[in-house]
């Protein structure tokens, strides 16, 4: 059944490619790095808007859970009894928000660095670099979560993010 709509998939892969390209062009000069950063920021803004107006599984109301619910899910994940979620599981939902937030902060800090007021500020440069490395760590954690969930529930989440479909919910799954 269709879970991830075309906008979610396009924004996901565009943001992943844009962030990877921005990372690669960091040392190659700002010719591509800066516009890629602005593109990443625009993609995040678009995805956040889609989180309010998009299809059911794209909406924040579908995948952002309370801290207590998320902690309960994490406990079940640790003991191996976490249920399958058709959309984002509680940890995956919050990981998406954290990833988008870090990308947005990277875009904002990069833009600030280009302004007359903050040009050459060492603290801002360090902050931007720290955010970049933090994003890399978060991406690794995100990929580890995708691999774990794919193996545990015997479905390719990567393939689902390509074609948009997942198998229908079974008893015990969270639709």
Predicted local distance difference test score (pLDDT) of residue 175 = 87
Residues 72, 66 contacting (CB under 8 angstroms): no
pTM of the predicted structure, to 2 decimals: 0.94
Would 116 be classed as within a structural domain? Answer: yes
173 occurs within a structural domain = no
Residues 40 and 15: beta-carbon distance below 8 Å: yes
Which runs of consecutive H residues, i.e. helices, occur in 79-117? 90-113
Residue 1, in any domain of the structure? no
**pLDDT for position 30:** 67
Burial 57-71 (b: 16+ CB within 10 A, else e): bbeeebbbbeeeebe
- Helix ranges restricted to H, the chain: 6-24, 30-53, 60-63, 67-78, 90-113, 122-153, 157-163
What pLDDT, on a 0 to 100 scale, did the predictor assign at position 125? 94
Give yes or no for a contact between 129 and 66, defined as CB atoms under 8 angstroms apart.
no
Q: Would you give per-residue pLDDT tens digits along the chain (175 residues)? A: 999 999 999 999 999 999 999 999 987 666 899 999 999 999 999 999 999 999 999 999 999 999 999 999 999 999 999 999 999 999 999 999 999 999 999 999 999 999 999 998 999 999 999 999 999 999 999 999 999 999 999 999 999 999 999 999 999 999 8
Range of 78's domain? 6-163
Classify residue 169: in a domain, yes or no: no
Structure tokens at 65: 């859970």
Say if 171 falls within a structural domain.
no
Question: How high is the pLDDT of residue 29?
Answer: 64
Q: How many domains does the chain have?
A: 1
């Amino acid at each position: 059944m269709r879970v991830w709509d075309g906008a979610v998939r396009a924004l996901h892969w565009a943001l992943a490619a844009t962030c990877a390209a921005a990372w690669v062009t960091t040392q190659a000069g700002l010719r591509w790095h800066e516009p890629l950063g602005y593109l990443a920021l625009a993609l995040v803004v678009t995805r956040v808007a889609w989180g309010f107006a998009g299809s059911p599984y794209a909406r924040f109301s579908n995948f952002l859970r309370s801290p207590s619910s998320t902690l309960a899910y994490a406990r079940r994940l640790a003991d191996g009894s976490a249920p399958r979620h058709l959309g984002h599981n509680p940890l995956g939902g919050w990981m998406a928000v954290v990833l988008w937030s870090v990308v947005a902060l990277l875009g904002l800090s990069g833009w600030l660095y280009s302004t007359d007021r903050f040009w050459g500020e060492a603290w801002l440069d360090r902050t931007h670099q720290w955010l970049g490395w933090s994003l890399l760590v978060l991406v690794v954690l995100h990929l580890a979560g995708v691999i774990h969930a794919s193996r545990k529930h015997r479905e390719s989440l990567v393939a689902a993010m390509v074609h948009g479909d997942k198998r229908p919910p079974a008893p015990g799954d969270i639709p």
